Every structure is written in C-alpha cells, then in structure tokens.
Amino acid sequence: MSTSVPAERGARVSFPPPLVFVAGLLLGVACRYLVASARAPIDPTLRLVAGLAVVALGVAVIVSARILFVRSGQDPAPWKPTATLVFAGPYCFTRNPMYLGATTIMLGLGVALNNLWISLFALPALGIVHFTAVLPEERYLSAKFGESYTQYLARVRRYL
C-alpha cells in the first residue's frame, strides 16, 4: 500500500477572475442597448485616441506581468501553486498588476467605444475580483511565504 502526498493547491479561487471582467464588459454593452446610451460629449477622435491609449497601458501591464510569471516557471492561474514571489516589473508598484490591467482595459474600452457603462462596471468588477480572488490569494501567499510576503505587503500597494 502506498501513501501519496496531496498535490499542493494554490489560492482558494473557484473561477477565473478574467471572466468577471468579461461579464462586466458584456453587462456594459447590454446596458447601452437595454437601459440607456451613456455617452461622453467629447471629440470622437480625442475620445478614441485616449481610450485606446488607456487600453494599451492595461495590456502592457498584463503582458509584462504574465511574462514575469512565465519566466519564473509559474502559471498565472490563482488556483495553481505559487513557486516563488515575483518582485520585478509591475510588481514593484502593484501587487495585482493583472487585475489592475484588466480594470484599466475596461475603463479604456468604455471611453474608446463611447460606452460609459463599460467604464462604470470596471470598478464593481474589480470589487468582485477583490473579494473572490485577491483576498484568498493574499491569505495563501501569507501562509506560504510568511515574512517575505509580509515585507512585500508593507512595501507595495495592493492596486495603486
């Protein structure tokens, strides 16, 4: 008879956080057509350029964070085990660059598409992710990495 050690599990996150942001985006699109059109009275070219610049910033933050995860041999899925802490790149100024990037993308899309509903749902989406993913991730990382993670918490803000 052999005994097996259970495989380590990551944070207790039950579903992919990006789906929350996709749901917020879709809800914003639905509200535009089902509730009312929420538009900004801004020059269309300026609005499009500003919105796309914000989207590009969000994409850049997510891509740079994901590259660091891959280089460290980790999977960004929060329910997978974390082998090591990442302190470089966007992790120098935010502990949650992927969630911050997704929020930024939603804000930029709302502006670029002149659908302020999308932008309005960005913060509630982040709020849901905060309680369903960020807090469980922080508990997991605190338990796994102890003082090293505690020092990181004191040094770097959760979002901005």
Tokens encoding 42? 């801004």
Helix residue ranges per DSSP H, the chain:
18-34, 44-71, 97-112, 116-129, 135-145, 147-155
Reading the block at residue 160, the tokens are 């901005």
Per the CB < 8 A criterion, the answer to whether 95 and 153 are in contact is yes
Under 8 Å between Cβ of 107 and 38: no
Torsion sign over Cα 153, 81, 12, 78: positive
Query: pTM for the complete prediction?
Result: 0.90
List per-residue pLDDT tens for the chain, 160 residues long: 444 444 578 889 988 999 999 999 999 999 998 988 877 788 899 999 999 999 999 999 999 999 999 999 888 888 999 999 999 999 999 999 999 999 999 999 999 999 999 999 999 999 999 999 999 999 999 999 999 999 999 999 999 8
Alpha-carbon 32 to chain mean position? 24
What are the tokens at 100?
């911050």
Rounded alpha-carbon distances, angstroms, from residue 133 to 7, 20, 53, 130: 20, 11, 27, 6
